[in-house]
Amino acid sequence: MRILLTNDDGVSARGLVALAERLRDVGEVIVVAPERQQSATSHSATLHKPIRVHPAHVAEGVTAYACSGTPSDCVALGLANLAPGPVNLIVAGINHGRNLGMDVTYSGTAMAALEGCIKGVPSFAISVGPTEGKATQELEVEAAVEFAQWLCLWLAAHPLPPGIFLNVNVPALPPDQIRGLMVTRLGRLRYEDTLERRLDPWGRPYFWRGLLLKEQKEEADTDEYALDHDFISVTPLRADLTATAVFAELNQLNLAQQWAQRRTT
Ligand code: MN
């Protein structure tokens, strides 16, 4: 099995290194990861400036490249150029911090898996949390590493339908404290934006964007509920964002004909 591994926390992130070291046992691992922090860059593509790539060291026996672009660039570059030949699986992570609910639309980790999915390669994103109060080096990643390894093998035997990828979240707990696994749906938006207005040393205003975690009760089938109850959460996501039910409804309402007839009625 050939695995393309990426992340959004940068090529030296602990989660990526731990995963590379373990996935070596599953197959050939090629890392293409951003050279620096790219969290919350979502699915962005670098189109208006060059993308630079240089060899990096991540783990013994693992080919690795650091790239000046985004996580999505890393996947595209890996598939098109840096990992020539068939790639069987794309793994994004282990992200330092949970990726839940609508946060996945901001996440470089989750959207790297989307990029892989769009390119027709089985893909999953994996994140660990909560991370509050923990330094990166102290973050408990063993359970996530163990699960990622198992999932790679499981997916080889149970391919996902086309256009579907997985968003996985693992509690930041030792493996023996994980209570199980739940297949979940995305919960709601977990943050409120804070946009603080400040002044620079010249008295000009600038803004600093931050996030305020909302206290909210999640339903029992959501990703956040699973994590809060010490379960691994596996959420299937689809690349096609079309709201299928409303697509049918709008057609039934003859939206196109109504627009065409707008001047005669
Ligand atoms: Mn990140």
Per-residue pLDDT tens for 184-221?
999 987 788 889 999 999 999 999 998 888 877 889 99
Residue spans of the chain under pLDDT 50: none
| Spatial separation of the C-alpha atoms in residues 123 and 145, rounded to whole Å | 16
Residue 193 lies in a domain: no
Domain count, the chain: 1
What's the CA-to-centroid distance between 179 and ligand 1, angstroms? Answer: 25
Q: What's the token pair of residue 251?
A: 């057609």
Task: Give pLDDT tens digits for 80-110.
Answer: 999 989 999 999 999 999 999 999 999 999 9
| Spatial separation of the C-alpha atoms in residues 214 and 28, rounded to whole Å | 41
Q: What's the token pair of residue 105?
A: 């639309």
Q: What's the token pair of residue 55?
A: 């060899």
Residue 83 lies in a domain: yes
Q: For residue 265, what pLDDT is reported?
A: 59
Q: Where are the alpha helices (DSSP H) in 4-101?
A: 14-23, 71-77
| Spatial separation of the C-alpha atoms in residues 18 and 128, rounded to whole Å | 12
Domain that holds residue 32: 2-187+218-264
What's the CA-to-centroid distance between 97 and ligand 1, angstroms? Answer: 7
Residue 21 lies in a domain: yes
Q: For residue 32, what pLDDT is reported?
A: 98
What's the CA-to-centroid distance between 62 and ligand 1, angstroms? Answer: 21
What's the CA-to-centroid distance between 159 and ligand 1, angstroms? Answer: 26
What's the CA-to-centroid distance between 169 and ligand 1, angstroms? Answer: 13
Q: For residue 193, what pLDDT is reported?
A: 84
Q: For residue 132, what pLDDT is reported?
A: 79
| CATH number of the domain residue 180 falls in | 3.40.1210.10
Residue 30 lies in a domain: yes
**CA 118, 249, 106, 199: dihedral to nearest 10 degrees?**
140
Q: What's the token pair of residue 16?
A: 């990526």
Residue 156 lies in a domain: yes
Q: What's the token pair of residue 50?
A: 């060059």
Residue 127 lies in a domain: yes
Q: For residue 57, what pLDDT is reported?
A: 98
CA distances from 91 to 13, 85, 100, 259, 265 (A): 15, 17, 17, 45, 55
Q: For residue 264, what pLDDT is reported?
A: 73
What's the CA-to-centroid distance between 75 and ligand 1, angstroms? Answer: 15
Q: For residue 218, what pLDDT is reported?
A: 85
What's the CA-to-centroid distance between 5 and ligand 1, angstroms? Answer: 14
Residue 244 lies in a domain: yes
What's the CA-to-centroid distance between 59 and ligand 1, angstroms? Answer: 20
Residue 192 lies in a domain: no
